[in-house]
Amino acid sequence: MAIDRARTALAQVFFQRCFYLFVAVLALIMTVLLFEPTPHARVLLNAANLLVLVAAVAAIGRTRLSFVIALLLAAPTLLFQLLAIDEGDSRFLLHSWAFGAALYAATVGYLLRYVFQREVMTADKLYGAAAAFLLLGVLWSNLYQILLHFYPGALHMNGAPMTLAPPSTMLYFSFVTLTATGMSDILPVHPAARMLCALEMITGVLFIAVLIARLAGSYPPPERE
C-alpha cells in the first residue's frame, strides 16, 4: 500500500528517528527566537516547522495506525499555516495552532511510551526524552496562542495586556514556565491562563523527576557477594 511505502521511505531516511526529531525541534526553537524579527524569518520559520512536522511523522509512524494519525494531524497543521500566510486570516492560524498542539501531544505521548519501555536505555531513547521535553514547550506555546485568541488580555507583559503575541514571545514564556524559572515579565491574570501555567510547571517538574527515576531504574544495584 501507499501508506506502507511512505512509512518505509521515512524510516529509511530518518533511521535515527528520535535524534532527527530532537535536532528538528531544537532548530525550530532557535529559528523562532533568533530570526523572527528579520525579513526572511517567514521562510525560515516555515522550513523549520515543516522539518519538525516531517520528523514528528517519522518518529510516530512506526506502525500503520500511528503513521496515519500523524499524517492526519500534520497535514492540516501545515495547510492552515500556509492559508494563514496567504490570506492573512487569524482563524487559519487558530486551526493551525490547534492541529499542531494535537500533533505535538500525540508525539510526546508516543515518545514517553517508547522511552519508558523496560528494555535497555539507548541513546535513541535519550534523544526521544530530550525531544519530548522540547516539544512540551512548543505544545504549550500553541496553547497560549489559542488562549490569547479567545481571551485577549489573559496575559500581561510588563503590566500591559497582551492581545496578540509573536511566536518568539509565547515560546519564550512557555519554556520559562516549563522550567519554573519565572522571569516575571509576562504574568497570567486570567484563571484559564493561570491554570495553563500551573499545568505546564507541574508537567515540567514531573517530567524531570520521572525521567531521572527511569534512568536510575536502568542500572540495577550490584549483586552482593
Question: In sequence order, which residues have a C-beta less than 8 Å from that of residue 224 and are 6 or more positions away?
Answer: none
- In a domain, residue 188? The reply is yes
Cell of 148: 490569547
- In a domain, residue 225? The reply is no
21, burial (CB in 10 Å: exposed 0-12, middle 13-18, buried 19+): buried
Percent of the chain with pLDDT over 70: 86
What's the structural domain count of the chain? 1
- Full domain range(s) for residue 210: 2-217
Predicted confidence at residue 120, as pLDDT, reads: 73
- In a domain, residue 179? The reply is yes
* Each residue's pLDDT tens digit, 85-139: 777 677 888 999 999 999 999 999 988 888 888 777 788 888 889 999 999 999 9
What is the model's pTM?
A: 0.86
- In a domain, residue 222? The reply is no
Query: How many CA atoms are closer than 13 Å to the CA of 127, on its beta-carbon side?
Result: 16
**Closest of 118, 120, 137 to residue 52, by C-alpha:** 137
Q: How far is CA 45 from CA 13, 113, 149, in A?
A: 22, 29, 21
Cell of 215: 534512568
- In a domain, residue 105? The reply is yes
- In a domain, residue 135? The reply is yes
Number of neighbouring beta carbons within 10 Å of residue 184:
8
Higher pLDDT, 167 or 133: 133
Q: How far is CA 149 from CA 53, 78, 92, 187, in A?
A: 23, 19, 12, 17
Higher pLDDT, 164 or 206: 206
Q: How far is CA 211 from CA 72, 106, 148, 193, 203, in A?
A: 30, 18, 32, 27, 12
Cell of 89: 486570516
For residues 138 and 61, what is the distance between their CA atoms, to the nearest angstrom?
A: 20
Question: What is the rounded average pLDDT of the residues 12-18?
Answer: 63
- In a domain, residue 224? The reply is no
pLDDT at residue 13 greater than cutoff 70: no
- In a domain, residue 26? The reply is yes
Distance of CA 125 to the CA centre of its chain: 17
Cell of 104: 505535538
Q: Is residue 173 very low, low, confident or very high in pLDDT (cuts 50, 70, 90)?
A: very high
Beta partners for residue 155, in sequence order: 162, 188
pLDDT at residue 79 greater than cutoff 70: yes
Predicted confidence at residue 161, as pLDDT, reads: 92
191, burial (CB in 10 Å: exposed 0-12, middle 13-18, buried 19+): exposed
Predicted confidence at residue 105, as pLDDT, reads: 93
